[in-house]
Amino acid sequence: MSDQQLEKLVEVKDLRISAYNDEKEEIQIVKGVTFDIYKGQVVALIGESGSGKTTISLASLSYTKPGLEFTGGEVLLNGEDVLTAPPDRQREIRGANVAYLAQSAAATFNPAITIGEQVTESAVLHGILTQEEATKRATELYHALELPNPDRIGIRYPHQVSGGQLQRLMAAMALCGKPDLMVLDEPTTALDVTTQIEVLKAFKKVIREENSAAIYVTHDLAVVAQIADHIVVLYGGEIMEQGSADQIINNPTHAYTRRLMDAVRPKPVAGLGTAVGEEHDREVPAVSVDNMTAGYGGIVNGEPAITILRDVSVDVKNAHVVGVIGESGCGKSTLARVMAGILPQARGTVKLEDQELEGSLNDRKLEELQKIQFVFQMADTALNPKQTISQILGRPLEFYHGLKGKEKHAKVTEILQMVELPPEFASRYPMELSGGQKQRINMARSLAANPEVLLCDEVTSALDSIVGANVIKLLTALRDKTGVSFVFISHDLSTVASFADEIVVLYAGRVVEQGPTDEVLEPPFHPYTRLLISSVPELRIGWLEDTMQKREMAVGIAKGVEITAVGCPFYNRCPMGIEGTCDQQSPPIRELEGGHQISCHLTIEDLKDAEKHTQQILHGYEKLEDASLKPHG
C-alpha cells in the first residue's frame, strides 16, 4: 500500500489448529498456514465455508471456537507470540490490539444500550482513552464513516438505524481503541448490493485514513478485489495460493482460484439467460396477479394497516422463470406468500390458469394447492429434523397423489435422481446432509407435488457461490424437463439475470419495471434498476472507485427506502426526480416493445438519454445534500 512503512505487523507461521472427535482422533482444521500482514495492509482470506478462514482469522486474537485447539505454529503480533501469551495478556490484546467485527451487526449490538456507549466501551475498558476522549474519537469516526447525523447518532439505540449503518457503526466500535489489526468476518455478506457498496466504501476510506491493518474474511472474490492488498486463497485448511491482489485477480495460477473466479457472479447484462423453447407455450399465464395490494394488520376498505405491496400486477407464463428482484423489505417474499395463499391479499385477484383463487389457502382446493408450491428460503428450517428424506419426499406424493408403499418408494428414488442426489439419501435425516443437498431436498419436496408453478424464495442466498451456481444449473434443467414455471425471488440480480426469462423489479412494494430479462437489463432503465445494476461488484480492481464517481450512485446509496402512499416511492433516491410531479403523483406505466414496462414519470426518451439529465441531477443532488445535513427540526 504505502511505501514508507513496510513493517511486519503480524506473522502467522505454520499455524495448525485441530479438533478432536468423540473417539479422540485428531482432525486437522488448519494445516500449516503461513502468511504475513504488514502495517496498513488489508489481507483477505478467501475460501468456501469449511476452508478454515474464520478459524485462522480468530487465531490472531488467540481465540479458537470451543472444541478446537492450537496444535502448532505461532502467530506473532509485533513480534509477540499471542498463542502462548498468558490469559491476562491475551485479554489485553483482544479489543486493544486486535479488534473483531462479526458478520451480523444486528446480533452484535445490545439493543438496550445506546450506540455511543457500546462503540466507546472497549476503548475505555482497556484504559486506552477516557470516556470523553473516546466519545470524541467515536464522533470523528462517525464522520469518517459518513454516517448520517454523525454528532447525534451516538445517542441513538441500535434499532433506530439501518442495517448498513449498524455495520459501519461496528467498524467504529472496532476502531475506537485504535487497534493495530482489525478482523472483519464477512462484514458485507448479508447486505443488499446497494448497502454493501456504501459499507465497502466507508470501510476502505476509514482503513486508509487510520492506516490500520485488517484481515478481511469472505468468500466473495469481487468484494475482495475492491478492498484487499494481499489475498490468501484457502481450501480445506491449506493455502492454495497467495499473492498481491493484482496478481491473484488478474493472473491466478492455481486451479482452485480459477474455480472460485468462475463462480463469481457475472455482471448482470442482457443475453445471459437461455430462452425457453416454444413447446411449453400456452395462451393463459400459469399464474397471474392483478392489481393486488397486500400487507399486514386489519383491512379497512381494501387498505391493510401496514401496506407491503401496492397495485402489483404480474403474469407468470407457462414454463417461464420470472425473477423478482429488489432490496430487503421491498415485498418480494410477500408477493410469493400472496400467490401461495399464506397471506391473503387485501385487494386485487390471484388467478391460476384463468381460475380465480381464494385469498387464503384454507379456502383453496387441494388441486389448486398442489399446482402452486412454495420453496422456503432456509432449507435448514424448512425440513423437519425428525423425518427422514424418504418421509419428507414421500408425504406430498401420498397427500396429493395417493401413492403408497412400493410405488411411493420408487417415485422418491426418481425424484432424488431428478435433483441429482443418490437414492441412498432416502434413509438419511436432514442433519446428515450438506447445505446444498438440503436445499435440493427442499426443492425436491415441492417438485414431488408435481406443481405447475414453483415459488422459490431466495433459495440460493444461504449457499456458497459454487453450491448456489450448481443449484441454479439444476433449476434450469428442471424447467426444461418438466415445464414448471418458476417465480424466482432473489436480491441478487446476477443470479436472476442468468436464470430468469422475465424480471420484475420491486421497490418499496411497487413494480417499478418488468419485462423480458434482455429488455430489462438493457437501456432504457428505470433509475432504480440502473442503481441496482451498477451496484453489483465486478471482479476488477478499482471498480469501487469508478462506480462512486457516478453521481447517481452517490444519490442512490446515500438515502434509505421510504415507503410512501403518494407519488413515486423512489423519488427521494432518484437522481432524475421532478419536484412537484414525482413526489405528488403515482408514476404512469410506460409500455415498451416486448411487454417491457417501466413505471416512471420520465418519458422513454428521457430515460434512454439518461446522460442528458446528469446536469439536472447535480443540481438536485446538491439540494438534497444540504437538506440531509441539517438535523431535523
Partner 1 sequence: MSESENQNGNQNEEVGQEVIEQLDKFDELPDAPPKRKLKLSWIGKISTAIVVFWVVIAAIGPFIAPFHEMDMDGDDSFLDAHSNEYGTFYLGTDYLGRDTFSRIIWGARMTIGISLASTILAYLIGITLGIAAAVKGGWVDMGISRVNDAILALPSIMLGLIAIAAFGSSIPILVIIAGIIYASSVFRIARALGLDIMVQDYVEAAKVRGEGLWWIIKSEVLPNAAMPLATDFGLRLVFVVLFISSLSFLGLGVQPPQADWGSMVRENLAGLTYNSWAAVWPAFAIATFTIAINLIVDDISAKSGGSLAKKMV
Positions that interact with partner 1 (CB under 8 A): 22, 235-236, 240-241, 252-259, 340-342, 361, 364, 366, 369-370, 373-374, 376-378, 381-387, 395-396, 399, 422, 424, 428, 431-432, 434, 445, 449, 470
Choice between 200 and 240, CB closer to partner 1: 240
Distance CA 59, CA 75 (A): 7
Q: Assess contact for 296 and 306: CB atoms under 8 A.
A: yes
Residue with cell 458485507: 188
* Separation of alpha carbons 355 and 350, rounded Å: 8
Tell me the C-alpha to C-alpha distance, in Å, between residue 480 and each of 323, 359, 494, 495. Answer: 16, 30, 20, 18
519 vs 597: CA distance, rounded Å? 10
In whole angstroms, the minimum distance from the beta carbon of 240 to partner 1 comes to: 6
Do 452 and 485 form a contact (C-beta atoms < 8 A)? yes
Task: For residue 550, give the C-alpha cell.
Answer: 457516478
Q: How many Cα atoms occupy the beta-carbon half-sphere of 178 within 13 Å?
A: 10
Closest distance to partner 1 from the beta carbon of 382 (Å): 4
- CA distances 231 to 1, 185, 226, 248, 626, Å, are 13, 15, 11, 7, 40
Cβ distance to partner 1 smaller for residue 61 or 467: 467
The least CB distance from residue 454 to partner 1, in Å, is 12
410 within 8 A of 424, measured Cβ to Cβ: no
Distances (CA, A) of 238 to 16, 28, 217, 242, 253: 10, 10, 15, 11, 16
| Residue (173 or 471) nearer to partner 1, CB | 471
How many CA atoms are closer than 13 Å to the CA of 222, on its beta-carbon side? Answer: 20
State the sign of the Cα–Cα–Cα–Cα dihedral 155, 156, 161, 163: positive
Query: For partner 1, which is the closer residue by CB, 44 or 455?
Result: 455
Which residues, other chains included, contact 384 with Cβ-Cβ below 8 Å and sequence gap of 6+?
392, 430
- For residue 406, give the H/E element and its range: helix 405-418
Least separation, in Å, of the C-beta of 422 and partner 1?
A: 6
CB of 322 to partner 1, least distance (A): 19
The least CB distance from residue 128 to partner 1, in Å, is 35
Nearer to partner 1, 91 or 365 (CB): 365
Grid cell, residue 214, equals: 485488517
Least distance between partner 1 and beta carbon 381 (Å): 4
Angstrom distance (rounded) from CA 503 to CA 501? 7
| Least Å from the CB of residue 592 to partner 1 | 32
Reduced to 3 states (helix: H, G, I; strand: E, B; else coil), residue 183 is strand
Give DSSP secondary structure letters for 34-82.
EEEEETT-EEEEE--TTSSHHHHHHHTTT---TTEEEEEEEEEETTEES
To 5 degrees, how large is the angle CA 460–CA 464–CA 470?
65
Whichever of 308 and 469 has its CB closer to partner 1, that residue is 469
Q: Which is nearer to partner 1, 314 or 383 (CB)?
A: 383
Indicate the residue among 376 and 507 with the shorter CB distance to partner 1.
Answer: 376
What SS3 class is residue 317?
A: coil
Smallest gap, in angstroms, from Cβ of residue 312 to partner 1? 20
Whole-number minimum distance, CB 35 to partner 1, in Å?
Answer: 18
Give the nearer residue to partner 1 in terms of CB position, either 204 or 254. Answer: 254
By C-alpha distance, which of 188, 189, 210 is closest to 199?
188
Judged by CB, which is closer to partner 1: 133, or 380? 380
DSSP state, residue 94: I
Q: How far is the CB of 374 from partner 1 (least distance, A)?
A: 5
- Asked whether 441 and 395 are in contact (CB, 8 A), the reply is no
- Nearer to partner 1 by C-beta: 273 or 567? 273
Of 454, 473, 477, nearest to 465 by C-alpha is: 473
Q: Which is nearer to partner 1, 284 or 541 (CB)?
A: 541
Residue with Cβ nearer partner 1 (257 or 485): 257
Q: How far is the CB of 300 from partner 1 (least distance, A)?
A: 21
Cβ of residue 436: shortest distance to partner 1, in angstroms? 8
Which residues, at least 6 apart from 14, have a Cβ–Cβ distance to it below 8 Å?
Answer: 32, 33, 34, 72, 73, 74
* Contacts for 602 with CB less than 8 Å, ≥ 6 apart: 576, 578
**C-alpha–C-alpha distance, residues 361 and 105, integer Å:** 36
Nearer to partner 1, 360 or 628 (CB): 360
Q: Which one, 467 or 497, has the nearer CB to partner 1? A: 467
